[in-house]
Amino acid sequence: MKKNIAIIAGGYSSELEISLKSVETIHANLPKDKYNSYVVIVNSQGWNVRHNEALFTIDKNDFSFTKDGKKINFDCAYLTIHGTPGEDGKLQGYFDMMGIPYNSCNQKTSALTFDKWLCNQVLLNNGISCAKSVLLNDRSEMYNTKQIVTELGLPCFVKPNDGGSSFGISKVKETVQLIPAINRAFTEGNEVMIESFLDGTEVTCACYKDGDKLKTLPLIEIVSETEFFDYEAKYEGLSQEICPARVDDSVRDEVQELTKKIYQLLGLKGLIRIDFMLVNNKPSVIEINTAPGMSAESLVPKMVKQEDNLGLSVLFDKIIQEALKQ
């Protein structure tokens, strides 16, 4: 019997638009002979199933909906929300209470990885390189910009600590730019992280569990035409995304093994992507993405095209089969 899969998109952040693109890729590529897939939109207007141009309200008491007088329950949830409430653990906690398996990290791990600064401290404490950073959690405070610059240097990056990776980020080259950048980041999150600049080659690596084995996909090298890999670079074609990355085999292997190590260390689950900066060919973690984008412009689909004997349908099937083991 086919399993009913809820592919959940939307969210409450500025990344809603990207999530809505990702859900179309997943919905189109789930094996139709194994799954009945339904798109579930979670946003400020409510929780609704979008099916055949109609909307059906989700009953949050058991995460079901009723169509033509028939109640439909879900066997598994595939979260593809970028940002809150799909990457920060909120929906994971809900599905844990409902007893419904899902594709992504559990509530605790999702909350940890969504808190960029705290996650970096865990990585650093385990000997994994990250940029130096400071955390700001009071938007009304008058911050000592000279002290921040003394500690981190220039240029530096200012970003929401509890937001997605595409909005509210600034590259600051002069001290006078710091306060406007902090204010901008606070419009996208409740906390702000400022990071030191890492000068090197940016690469990204995806990882997933296939049975008893952890597998990685080919590395992508990112060459941005903008100041950094921001929204325009990611989604408006202002970057080169070279797959496989132009790095030595030894560097590739080190990045892939480090990705697997982090996957196990943090208890990651499903398909994840970790962004690195190679500084003198040594990887430093930039960010961990527990719900990587799946739009036509996104990185993971481009990785999959370079992997022998793997397509998106096969990959998504493996992710769901792993989730159903819960």
Given phi > 0 = left and psi -120 to 50 = alpha, else beta, which region is 309? left
Catalytic annotation on 263?
Answer: no
Catalytic annotation on 237?
Answer: no
Distance (Å, whole) CA 37 – CA 24: 11
**Marked catalytic residue, from 86, 87, 293, 295:** 293
**Number of Cβ atoms within 10 Å of the Cβ of 71:** 10
**Number of Cβ atoms within 10 Å of the Cβ of 84:** 19
Catalytic annotation on 139?
Answer: no
Catalytic annotation on 289?
Answer: yes
**Marked catalytic residue, from 11, 15, 19, 86:** 15
Catalytic annotation on 199?
Answer: no
Catalytic annotation on 143?
Answer: no
Catalytic annotation on 52?
Answer: no
**Marked catalytic residue, from 22, 48, 120, 165:** 165
Catalytic annotation on 24?
Answer: no
Distance (Å, whole) CA 326 – CA 324: 5
Contact between 159 and 185 under an 8 Å Cβ cutoff? The reply is: yes
**Marked catalytic residue, from 17, 96, 254, 287:** 287
**Marked catalytic residue, from 13, 191, 273, 322:** 273
- Mark 266-286 as b/e (b = at least 16 C-beta within 10 Å): bebbbbbbbbbbbeeeebbbb
**Marked catalytic residue, from 29, 239, 289, 295:** 289
Cβ partners under 8 Å of residue 308, min gap 6: none
**Marked catalytic residue, from 235, 239, 252, 270:** 235
Q: What residues are labeled active site? A: 15, 165, 235, 273, 275, 287, 289, 293
